[in-house]
Structure 1
Amino acid sequence: MNNYFIKEEKIRFKHVDYAGIVFYPRFLEMLNDLVEDWFEEALERPFSTIHETNGIPTVDLKVQFKKAARLGETLTKSLWVKNLGGASVNCGFRFADENNKTCLEGEVTVVNVAFNEERNDIKAEVFSEEMKEKISKYLFQES
């Protein structure tokens, strides 16, 4: 069984351009919100506490814009894990409109990093076994 993290988002005036369709950078903000919500709600690791000692930067992003989304529509945003590495996680995502038509899809890879203030650097840090277990619940298993 595959688990997807799903959130809905209503397209608001702040998301759209003069033509009334979502301005493409707003889609990326919505994606970032989805990743942040996944970490907080599903993985129990809110960004507010992660960023005290660590970070989860996006290191790779592939996006395909399939269809315009319009003011007033509600999108269903889905996220799942395609690959879990030691310190990285590659996720697939899809934003669908109210008719289940894909507006946006792609992949995002984030890396768990630790901050070292003494050396003033950032270095990849392996996820804990507990975190790997939580993330694995969203691993897509092809039938």
Structure 2
Amino acid sequence: MPAFAWRNSVMFQHCDPAGIVFYPRYFEMINAAIETFFADAVGWSFARMHGRDRVGVPAARIDTEFHAASRLGDDLDWSLRVTRIGGASLDLVLHATGDDGSARLTARATLVLVSLDPLKSKPWPEPTRRALERYLEDAPQ
């Protein structure tokens, strides 16, 4: 089961006056990791989804555990794995670690594929499902 890897740096815009990541900014990072995953690993960018294809993948649920603070200038390594693929939904687990290997955050998310006109769930297209299956836990190596 390969994990999708992404790295970002904690910037001033992410921090509160104490110089640590203000927790809502982690949700922006989670979204950036998911958006990058869809573009780079699945081959379906959010720009194409929302523009040409008129679909989206809003979060139905995000459970988050904050393990340790991240500070301005820290680099965070993210891993993303698919834990379940439903008819129109998808469960993911994301882990963020610091350069020292310390756990910073774990998030479990459920996304739902929806058409934008009208806003209604729809099944994953087969090519997308196959791409997602490559990152599914317990997938054949």
> Quick check: TM above 0.5?
yes
- Show CA shifts across 1:20-40 (max 9, x none): 100001100000000000011
1:22 aligns with 2:21: yes
In structure 2, C-alpha distance between the alignment counterparts of 1:7 and 1:141, rounded to whole Å: 21
In structure 1, C-alpha distance between the alignment counterparts of 2:33 and 2:104, rounded to whole Å: 15
Of 121, 124, 128, 2:125 maps to: 128
Superposition deviation, residue 130 in structure 1: 1.1
Unaligned runs of 5+ in 2: none
DSSP 3-state at the match of 1:49: helix
Matched residue, 2:8: 9
Counterpart amino acid of residue 44 in structure 1: G
Report the TM-score when normalising by structure 2: 0.94
* Percent of pairs with identical residues: 31
In structure 2, C-alpha distance between the alignment counterparts of 1:141 and 1:88, rounded to whole Å: 18
Unaligned runs of 5+ in 1: none
- Show CA shifts across 1:63-101 (max 9, x none): 001100011110001110010001111000000001111
Superposition deviation, residue 115 in structure 1: 2.5
Matched residue, 2:66: 65
The 4+ residue runs of structure 1 with deviation greater than 3 A are: none
In structure 2, C-alpha distance between the alignment counterparts of 1:125 and 1:111, rounded to whole Å: 8
- Show CA shifts across 1:114-141 (max 9, x none): 123xxxx311100011111000000012
DSSP 3-state at the match of 1:20: coil
Instruction: Report 1:90-101 matches (<5 A).
Output: 90-101=91-102
Matched residue, 2:34: 35
DSSP 3-state at the match of 2:31: helix
Matched residue, 2:138: 141
Aligned length: 137
Report the TM-score when normalising by structure 1: 0.92
Matched residue, 2:80: 79
Superposition deviation, residue 106 in structure 1: 1.9
In structure 2, C-alpha distance between the alignment counterparts of 1:122 and 1:73, rounded to whole Å: 38
In structure 1, C-alpha distance between the alignment counterparts of 2:74 and 2:138, rounded to whole Å: 31
